[in-house]
A and B are shown apart, each in its own frame.
Chain A
Amino acid sequence: MSVYFSPMEQSAAPSLVYSGTPSAPVQPVRLAIFRVEGVLLRRGVLSASAYFAANSAGFRERLLRLGGVALTAPMAVLTAQNDRTMSNRAAWASLRGMSEDRLRVLGEEYAGGVLPNAVLPGGLDWLRKARADGFTVIAISENISHAVGPWLSSLRDVDEWRCNHLEIRHGEATGRLKDPVVGGHESGEWIRILAREKNADLSRSRVYASAGPDLLLMSRVGFPCAVNPDFTLRRAATESGWPIMDYNS
C-alpha cells in the first residue's frame, strides 16, 4: 500500500509552498480527475481481460482463460455499485502465467485497435477544456497498464495517469494486481495524498466519474461531476445537487 498521511500530519502540512523568498507564494494547482471507464471510454475491465484471454498462446489456454473471465462477469455486475477491488482482482487473475512479452504486444494491439473505437468524444472534449482552463489533468483507470497505458500516454491533454498493475515475476504475470488496486474505496485517501504531493486545492478541483465506487473520490473535491452515471452515482448526484452529464447515448 502507499504511505498515507495521518490527519495530524495533514493538518500540519502547509497549504502553500514557498519557494525563493518567503514572500513569494505559489498558487495551489487545480486538479481535474477523469475516471477513464465510462467517462473517456465505453469499454471496461472485462472487455480488456477478455481480449487478453482470447489471445493467449494456445487454444486450450484461450478457452481456460476466457472461462475464467466469464466467471468473473457476475461478480463484476454484483459489485459494480460498490467496491470493485475484488472483481478487478478476479478479472485479471485469469491472466496468470501469461508472458510479459505477450501482455505488451496484446496491450499495444488493444490500445491501437480496440480502444480508438470505444472512445467517448464528449469525454475527450471535457479533457481538452479542463486543460485549456488551467487544470492539471489526471486520468485514473481500473484497467491494467498494459491495456490502457499506451492509449493514455498518447493523449496530449493528460498530464498524469494512474491505473492497475499486474504483478510480474520471472517474466510472467502472477495473476495478482499490485496494491493499491484502483477501483476500490481507497480513492478517497489517494486523492488526499495526491493533493498534498501536488500542492493542489481540492476545493477548486474537479472529478468526472461514472460509477458508485467513485463517490468517495468525488466527495473530496469542490466540483464533482457525474458522467453517464450508474444507478448509485446518479441517485447520489441528484441528492447532492452535483451536475450530471449524459453523452453515452
Chain B
Amino acid sequence: MADHGLQQLIAPLSVRRALSGKNILITGASGFLAKVWLAMILHQLPETGRIYVLMRRQGFASAAARLNHLLNTSPVFGPLHESGKLAGVIKGRLFAVEGDVEAGCLGMDPLTCNQLLGEIDLFIHCAGVVSFDADIRQALGVNVEGARQVGEFVRASKRAKLLHVSTCFVAGMTDGEIPESLEINQSPSGAPFDALDEIRHLRNEITSVMERHNEPWMIERAQSRAERAMARGAHHDRSLEEQTAHEQRRLLEQDMTSVGMTRAQILGWPNSYTLSKGMAERVLARMLPRERLLIFRPAIVESALRFPFPGWNEGFNTSGPLIWLLGSWFRFFPGGATVPFDISPVDEVCRGMGIAAAALLRGEHPLVAQCGSYHANPLSVGRTVELTALGHRKYYRQHGENWVERWVLSRWDAAGADEDHALSVPRLRLYSHAAAGSLKGLSKSGPGWLRAPASSLAKSLESGERNLAKIDRMLNLYKPFINDHRQIFRTDFLLNTAVEEPEWRFDPMSIDWAHFWMDVHMPGVRRWCYPELLGGKLETIAPAQPVSVREWSIAAGEAAEAAQ
C-alpha cells in the first residue's frame, strides 16, 4: 500500500480511470446512500464494468423485481430517466443478484457465487440497520454477521477489494479530534475488546433473554398486558391470544433493545447501532489484509446539495425529526450550542466514496477514511438550531396555513437549552403529569359541575404527556450526538487527495451552510421526509419508458458479453 500523502505529489487520482472496466458488487442499494451512489456511478461513470446489486427477495418480489421497482419509482433515478440515458447505461451492465448478507456466500446460489468470486473487483458494502436503538438481534445479524459474511466473500474472491461503509460515530462516547484510525483491540471506553468474543457474549445474552421470555411468569405478564389493552378497547380486531402474542413480541423487543443499549454503554458506545458498526469494523480488520479493505466512515448524511437534484432526501434520517420538532410549538432544544454538528450532503459523501473506492483499487488507500464537513467547514449544533428556526420562519411567513402560523409560529424561534431549563421536555412531562393527577382527583372528588371538564382536561394532558414521552425518548437517542460529546472527525485523506475530475472532488469548504440548510435541506426534508412521519404519500416517479434489469445468471452474463 503506497503512502497516499506522497502519492498526491506524484499524480492526482482519477476516479474515472480507477473504476474503468471494474466490476462492482453493491449491498444496501435500497437505502438512501447506496441508491444515490449507484445513480451517480450510472450517470457519471459509464466506463465501469458490470454492477451487481445484491438484494433480498421480499415475499413474491424477486431481487430483480425490487431493483426494477427502485429504478422506475425512486426520484433518485428521475434525472437519468429524463435525460433518456438510463436504459442505455444499464443495458448489459446492471444486474440484480438475489441474496442475503447474513447468509453464507451472501445467500447467493452457488453458481452465481462462484462466478462473482472470480469477477468482482470492488465490493461496496452499504447494507446495515441504521436505527439507533435497534433490537440487538437485528443489529448483530445485519451489521456484524453481515459484515463478516461480506469479509468471507472478499477473502475467498480472486481480487475483490472491500469498501465497507461504517459511521464516524463508532468513535463512541469520546471527545476531541477523532483520527482516521482503528483500535482493533480496544473499545471506546479504553477497555480491552475482542469483537469475536463480544459476538459470543451477545449471542449468549440473546439466548438467555429468549429463555427468560419463555418462562411462565413472562407469559403471564404479556397476558395481563394484553387483557389491560383489550379492556381499554385497543386493537378491537385482535383476539386475546393474538394480543398476548403481540405483547410477548413487544416485551422481547424491548428487552433485546435494552441488552444492546446497556452493553454498548458499558463499552463506551452510545447505542447498539454504533456498537454493532464498531464491532463490524474490527471483525473486518481482522479478517482481511489491509490492501483489500477500506473502512469508509461518513458522519451524518443529509439531503443532496446538487445530485440527483438539490434537496433529495429519503426516510427520516438524523436531522429530519429534529427539524420537524423545531417547526412545532416545541421551543427549547437540548443541544450544546458549541457542539460540532458534522453533516454532509449525500452527494458529497458519494463523491468521498468514489475517491475512496478509486484509491482502494489503486492500492493508495488508508485503512480508515472519514467523511464529514466539520474538520474543514465547521457547523455547530447552536448554529443549526438558529438556521432551523430561521428556515421555519421563512416557510411559515410565506406558506403558513393561517394567521397563527404566519404571525405567531413563524416568530416562535427554537433555542438551545439544557435539561434543567424550566420548559425542557422532562420538566414539561413532570408538570403535565402533576396537573393530570390533580385534575383526575378533581374529577372524582370535586364539585359536580367541575368533574366532567376536569376529567376531559386530564385525558388531554395524559395524551400530551405520552407525546412528550415519545419526544423525550427521541431526544435521548440523539443526545450523545447533539449535546454530550464534542467530536471533530478528521477527514485528512479525502481533503488531501487531489482528484482529476472536478465532479468527483471532495469540497466541504464550498458549502454555504445557511443556504444549504434553509434553502436546500429543509425544503427537502419537508418534501421527502415529512410525508413518512405524518402518514402522507411519498412522491414517486412514473417514467414514460420504464427500464428493466435482469437477475444475474450465467446466461444473462453471456448475453451481455455477446451484446457488447
A interface residues (Cβ-Cβ under 8 A, vs B): 55, 57-58, 99, 101-102, 104-105, 109, 171
Contacts and interface: CB of A to CB of B under 8 A. Distances in A.
B314 to A, nearest CB: 27
B397 A105 contact: no
Nearest to B412: A59
Contacts of A58: 413, 415
B36 interface: no
Contacts of B383: 99, 101, 171
A105 B415 contact: no
A101 B514 contact: yes
Interface in B385-434: 386-387, 389-390, 393-394, 397, 411, 413, 415
B187 to A, nearest CB: 36
Interface residues of B, number: 13
Contacts of A171: 383
18 contacts: A57-B386, A57-B389, A57-B413, A57-B415, A58-B413, A58-B415, A99-B383, A99-B386, A101-B383, A101-B387, A101-B390, A101-B514, A104-B514, A105-B390, A105-B393, A105-B394, A105-B518, A171-B383
B415 A102 contact: no
A101 B393 CA distance: 12
Interface string B367-389: 00000000000000001001101
A141 B410 CA distance: 29
A57 B415 CA distance: 7
What 4 pairs between A and B have smallest CB-CB spacing? A105-B390, A57-B413, A101-B514, A99-B386
B514 to A, nearest CB: 5
Contacts of A99: 383, 386
A45 B59 CA distance: 68
Contact of B411 (A55, A101, A102): A55
Contacts of A101: 383, 386-387, 390, 514
Nearest to A109: B397
Nearest to A98: B386
A171 B337 CA distance: 13
A217 B227 CA distance: 87
A105 B396 CA distance: 13
Nearest to A54: B411
Contacts of B386: 57, 99, 101-102
A48 to B, nearest CB: 18
A228 B380 CA distance: 48
Nearest to A57: B413
A101 B380 CA distance: 13
Contacts of B413: 57-58
A146 to B, nearest CB: 13
Nearest to A58: B415
Nearest to A104: B514
A96 B413 CA distance: 18
Contacts of B394: 105
Contacts of B387: 101
Interface string B184-220: 0000000000000000000000000000000000000
A149 B73 CA distance: 44
A55 B393 CA distance: 10
Contacts of B514: 101, 104
A51 to B, nearest CB: 12
Nearest to B518: A105
Nearest to A62: B411
A58 B411 CA distance: 9
Contacts of A55: 411
Interface string B512-528: 00100010000000000
B390 A102 contact: yes
A38 to B, nearest CB: 29
A55 B410 CA distance: 10
A55 B397 CA distance: 13
Contacts of A102: 386, 390
A102 B393 CA distance: 10
A144 to B, nearest CB: 17
A245 to B, nearest CB: 36
Given A58-B415, A102-B386, 11 more contacts: A57-B386, A57-B389, A57-B413, A57-B415, A58-B413, A99-B386, A101-B386, A101-B390, A101-B514, A104-B514, A105-B390
